[in-house]
Structure 1
Amino acid sequence: MKTDIQTLLDRGTVDVIIRKELEEKIKAGKNLRVKLGIDPTGSDLHIGHAVVLKKLRHFQDAGHTAVLIIGDYTARVGDPTGKSETRVMLTAEQIEKNMKYYIKQAAAILDMDKLEIRYNSEWFSKMNMGDILELTAKKTINQMIQREDFKNRIQNDQDVSMVETLYPLMQGYDSVMLNCDVEIGGTDQLFNMMVGRDLQKRYNKTTIQNIITVPILEGLDGVEKMSKSLNNYIGINDEANEMYGKTLSIPDDLITKYFELATNIPMDEIKKISKRMEDGENPKTFKMQLARELVKQYHNEDAAKKAEEEFENIFKNKGIPEDIETITFTKKSYNIIDLISESGLAQSKSEARRLVEGGGVKIDSEKIPSIETEVDISTEKILQVGKRKFVKVISK
């Protein structure tokens, strides 16, 4: 039981509120209802999102009831955490599409057969004005604007909408309706989760939730929070070679943190890895181990071996793979943005522009200087995007 408690409360956690209470519940053998709320405001998950999903999986593995609450109603508001301006409200169609894709990806981490999935539209869609007034009466405006991001926006003379101030109340009310024993989330969710704890008291619930926060995982740049918009992420749906290569680009000082938060390697082994690096072993050895582990986790062991072989081949050939797909085009000349987009090396033209402007695009190993560049493909050229995406392009 001691090991179980250490895994649940110590591995990859920052805050445990109130730890003594939660330890006593676990030791007493109580089956805990553990809540994780997600808003389907985007469709793609990366390993930064996976940190909190893995913590929920720890509770599943310990025999507790994991409750994934899909914020199909709160997604219409959008979590204002960390935002400097009011978010655009999503349509019901966007939310439904994101929601289906999110659940499909979460299945790579969670045991879906033992997961209780709920939607907060179950209660919010049925609330009348009297119910809403009762909920809003539980907290004051002064309490709600103590959120750091709200205070910053007010100090900078930026608007905070009334709808946004409702978001923590709505997230907290989910805990009331679900009778949660524990809520888990990122450190940026602490305010919202504390609101849930307070609302349970104010609604005279017999169960008052404990709270566990997990760290925010830095992206490939080692500085900013992992984010698709910053292009510093490892997607859990990335192809095996892409996932392997991206992992090798993380800063050395994040290797141990990635092992702890993103893999299932036992903590004792991770401590040994950390000690070996401190004693002077080459961090690249452990970065390759980390890359293999991530690919194995989200693909399979065979894919991990092949990804490592591909990386070694590229390294031997000074960054150029031996086997590159050839794409044939109808025209002899293309604008670089169109060429990247039509080659499938970027998801959109705006992403292609960002890649060129960031210096990440090359033709025959020569960096493309401008988004206005025209590329003659009457003879075969090698188009490279980033460090790991290559295609041969030629006109018919």
Structure 2
Amino acid sequence: MAQDFSWLHRGVTEIFPQPHDDSEAESLEHRLTNANRPLRIKLGIDPTGADIHLGHSIPVRKLRAFQDAGHTAVLIIGDFTARIGDPTGKSDVRRQLTEADVAENAQTYLDQVRPILDFDTPGRLEVRYNSEWLSHLNLGKTLELLSTMTVGQMLAKEGFAERYKKENPIFLHEFLYPLMQGYDSVAVDADVELGGTDQKFNIAVGRDLQRHFGLKPQFGLLLPILIGTDGVQKMSKSLGNYVALGEHPSQKYQKLQGVPDNLLSQYFELLTNLPLDSLPEKPRDRQEFLAWEIVRQYHGEQAANEAKEAARSGGKEGAVPEFSLAAIAQFPVKLTYLLGATGLCKSASEGKRKIQEGGVRLDGDKVTDVDATFAAPGDLYGKVLQVGKKNFVRFVP
């Protein structure tokens, strides 16, 4: 009886190579069916920021699908590569992060993907840090990596080509990024690598390096880039069209129930496991069902029901408590003072300690600066201040 690979193809843009390609004689389905061991499925994430949004969750969800099919998820935390930053899609050089920045971001990433991945079943998950092998590369090995690719090949990479054409600087350390990410596939002996459609070049480099080092080349599985809640541009925190995994359930629900009709099918396909032929027919019902289902995934059924009721009652019952900034006598004001004034902390000093412990978020973003200050009330209107997992206030005039 033929295996059902609907879970494999759901939401996938491309799997490469295909059997008709010159150098490959098998398909990924063939390898999945005939391997006498669990395949090793690689997903690399660079902790270049503190938070993950729903767009980032798509390859993580596919990684979970492989886990559920009996394979081993290899989640690589790019604590070494993050110090360079992936130049893909960037028109300028990225700021290099410190080891402390990366370590802090990495922990928050793991906390946020925990509701998605199976961390408990033995043999289903390896969490690896690529500093384990990249920090020990000597100059000889680095030169060997560099010798596998020409400058012309590197400049064919979309972001580099555009920057070169515009005469924007490209620094030599940026050329190392695709090679280091590719070497991750060598280090963990990956059978499959997951990534967004913008990662095809980097995944292909991994295949070339595996071949160079005598390993069987991995398959690449590419997933779409999620369009944001504005229905126009890709989901991005800088564009404000995102839904963060760390947001309050009511915030998530309110954002998702406004997803444009033309995006609902894609959101259901990429962000849920629901059968696509049994969804509500009316667009409004589909919006509410999508919002409920995604909140349920991350916060549980009770929180989803409460968020739904809060939205239907005009955002009052069960919604995020509000705090009027009219109660603050003078601006500028420190965040530590606000933590005490709102009652989220007993005092400003406790607020400072909570920030140092990583327990404070503003609109889903972890706050790390104990001296964070806001010049005017308008800087805070509508934003949600959070301490821990359950304590929230929304700032209003």
Which TM bucket (shorter chain)?
0.7 to 0.9
Determine which of 175, 179, 192 is the counterpart of 2:189: 179
Unaligned stretches of 5+ in structure 2? 20-26, 345-359, 366-374, 385-392
1:325 Cα deviation (Å)? 3.6
Query: 1:304 maps to what in 2?
Result: 304
Residues 344-372 of structure 1 deviation map (CA, whole Å, 9 limit, x = unaligned) = 99939x9xxxxxxxxxxxxxxxxxxxx97
Query: 2:17 maps to what in 1?
Result: 18
Alpha-carbon spacing, 1:159–1:289, altered in 2? closer, same or farther (3 Å): same
Determine which of 247, 253, 274 is the counterpart of 1:265: 274
Query: 2:288 maps to what in 1?
Result: 288
Aligned with 2:86: secondary structure?
Answer: coil
Query: 1:357 maps to what in 2?
Result: none
Aligned with 2:314: secondary structure?
Answer: helix
Alpha-carbon spacing, 1:332–1:75, altered in 2? closer, same or farther (3 Å): closer
Question: Percent identity among equivalent residues?
Answer: 43
Following superposition of structure 1 onto structure 2, how do residues 338-349 of structure 1 map, counting pairs within 5 Å?
Answer: 347=362
Alpha-carbon spacing, 1:309–1:65, altered in 2? closer, same or farther (3 Å): same
d(CA) in 2 for partners of 1:163 and 1:44? 26
d(CA) in 2 for partners of 1:26 and 1:323? 46
Aligned with 1:149: secondary structure?
Answer: helix
Residues 53-107 of structure 1 deviation map (CA, whole Å, 9 limit, x = unaligned) = 0000010000011101111111111000110000010000000000111111111
d(CA) in 1 for partners of 2:361 and 2:132? 38
1:272 Cα deviation (Å)? 4.1
d(CA) in 2 for partners of 1:65 and 1:123? 20
Determine which of 18, 25, 33 is the counterpart of 1:27: 33
Question: Is the aligned partner of 1:44 residue 2:51?
Answer: yes
Query: 1:198 maps to what in 2?
Result: 208
Query: 1:356 maps to what in 2?
Result: none
Would the aligned equivalents of 1:240 and 1:303 in 2 still touch at CA under 8 Å?
Answer: yes
Question: Is the aligned partner of 1:314 residue 2:317?
Answer: no
1:176 Cα deviation (Å)? 1.1
1:4 Cα deviation (Å)? 4.1
* Corresponding residue pairs, total: 351
Determine which of 143, 155, 160 is the counterpart of 1:150: 160
Residues 223-255 of structure 1 deviation map (CA, whole Å, 9 limit, x = unaligned) = 211111221111111111001001012111000
Following superposition of structure 1 onto structure 2, how do residues 117-136 of structure 1 map, counting pairs within 5 Å?
Answer: 117-136=127-146
d(CA) in 1 for partners of 2:234 and 2:308? 27
1:118 Cα deviation (Å)? 1.0
1:18 Cα deviation (Å)? 2.3
Find the structure with the greater CA-based Rg. 1
Query: 1:74 maps to what in 2?
Result: 81
d(CA) in 2 for partners of 1:191 and 1:103? 26
Question: Is the aligned partner of 1:97 residue 2:96?
Answer: no
Would the aligned equivalents of 2:191 and 2:219 in 1 still touch at CA under 8 Å?
Answer: yes
Following superposition of structure 1 onto structure 2, how do residues 232-247 of structure 1 map, counting pairs within 5 Å?
Answer: 232-247=241-256
Determine which of 53, 70, 77 is the counterpart of 2:60: 53
RMSD of the TM alignment (CA)?
A: 3.2
Aligned with 1:67: secondary structure?
Answer: strand
Would the aligned equivalents of 1:5 and 1:26 in 2 still touch at CA under 8 Å?
Answer: no
The structure that is helix-richer by fraction is 1
Residues 154-204 of structure 1 deviation map (CA, whole Å, 9 limit, x = unaligned) = 111101111111111111111111111111100010000001011111122
Would the aligned equivalents of 1:313 and 1:322 in 2 still touch at CA under 8 Å?
Answer: no
The amino acid that maps onto 1:103 is L
Would the aligned equivalents of 1:13 and 1:213 in 2 still touch at CA under 8 Å?
Answer: yes
Question: Is the aligned partner of 1:217 residue 2:237?
Answer: no
Query: 2:372 maps to what in 1?
Result: none
